[in-house]
Amino acid sequence: MTSSDVWDAEAAASYDESSAFMFAPEVLDPAVDFLGALAGGGPALELAVGTGRVAIPLADRGMRVSGIELSQPMADQLLAKRPGFDVVVGDMATARVPGEFGLVYVVWNSIGNLRTQAEQVACFANAARHLAPGGRFVVELGVPGIRRFPPGQSAVPFHVGRRHVGFDTYDLTTQQGTSHHYRRHDDGTVTYGQSNFRYIWPAECDLMAQLAGMSLERRVADWHGAPFTSDSDSHVSVWRRPA
Ligand SMILES: C[S@@+](CC[C@H](N)C(=O)[O-])C[C@H]1O[C@@H](n2cnc3c(N)ncnc32)[C@H](O)[C@@H]1O
Distance CA 31, CA 37 (A): 10
**Domain containing 76: what range?**
9-144+201-240
Q: Give yes or no: residues 188 and 168 share one domain.
A: yes
Q: Output DSSP code: residue 50.
A: T
Q: Is 58 in the same domain as 136?
A: yes
Q: Using a 6 Å CB cutoff, which residues line ligand 1?
A: 2, 4, 7, 48-50, 53-54, 68-71, 74, 91-92, 107-108, 110, 113-114
Q: What separation in Å is there between the alpha carbon of 8 and the centre of ligand 1?
A: 12
Alpha carbon of 50 to ligand 1 centroid (Å): 5
Give the mutation target among 68, 72, 113, 120 for probing the ligand 1 site: most ligand atoms within 8 A of CB: 113
63 is a domain residue: yes
- Whether residue 137 is found in the same domain as residue 155: no
pLDDT-derived band of residue 149, with 50, 70 and 90 as boundaries? confident
Residue 150 CA to ligand 1 centre (angstroms): 31
Q: Is residue 4 part of a domain?
A: no
Q: How far apart are CA 74 and CA 97, in angstroms?
A: 18
Confidence class for position 95, pLDDT limits 50, 70, 90: very high
**Is 74 found in the same domain as 180?**
no
Identify whether 2 is part of a domain: no
Query: Which region among 64-73, 138-147, 226-235 has the lowest average model confidence (pLDDT)?
Result: 138-147
Is pLDDT at 55 greater than 90 in this prediction? yes
Instruction: Indicate the residue among 159, 179, 195 that finishes a domain.
Output: 195
Under the banding of pLDDT at 50, 70 and 90, the label for residue 148 is confident
Which atom of ligand 1 is nearest to 53's Cα? Answer: 9
Q: Answer yes or no: is 225 within a domain.
A: yes
Q: What is the structure's pLDDT at 208? A: 98
* Residue 224: pLDDT over 90: yes
What pLDDT, on a 0 to 100 scale, did the predictor assign at position 145? Answer: 84
Average pLDDT, the chain: 95
Residue 218: which CATH number? 3.40.50.150
The CA-based diameter of the chain, rounded to the nearest angstrom, is: 58
Confidence of residue 62 (pLDDT cuts 50, 70, 90): very high
- Whole-number Å distance, alpha carbon 27 to ligand 1 midpoint, is 18
- Return the pLDDT at 152: 85
**Residue 85: what pLDDT?**
98
Mark whether 72 and 132 lie in a shared domain. yes
153 and 139 in one domain?
A: no
Decide if pLDDT at 202 tops 80.
Answer: yes
Is 3 within a domain?
A: no
Question: Has residue 19 got a pLDDT over 90?
Answer: no
Same domain? 127 vs 190: no
How many A from CA of 152 to the centre of ligand 1?
32
CB atoms closer than 10 angstroms to residue 233: 12
Q: How many domains does the chain have?
A: 2
The predicted structure's pLDDT at residue 84 = 97
Q: Coil, strand, or helix at residue 54?
A: coil
Tell me the pLDDT tens digit for each residue of 158-173: 888 888 899 999 998 9
Which element (helix H / strand E) includes 204? helix 202-211
Residue 99: CB atoms within 10 Å: 12
Looking at the domain assignment, is residue 230 inside a domain?
A: yes
User: If pLDDT is split at 50, 70 and 90, which confidence band does 150 have?
Assistant: confident
pLDDT (mean) for 210-223: 98
- Among the listed ranges 89-93, 132-136, 163-167, which one has the minimum average pLDDT value? 163-167
Asked if residue 95 and residue 65 are part of one domain, the reply reads yes
* Arithmetic mean of pLDDT, 204-226: 98
Which atom from ligand 1 is nearest to the alpha carbon of 3?
A: 19
**pLDDT of 41 higher than 90:** no
Calculate the alpha carbon distances from 49 to 23, 67, 140, 145 in Å.
14, 5, 13, 25
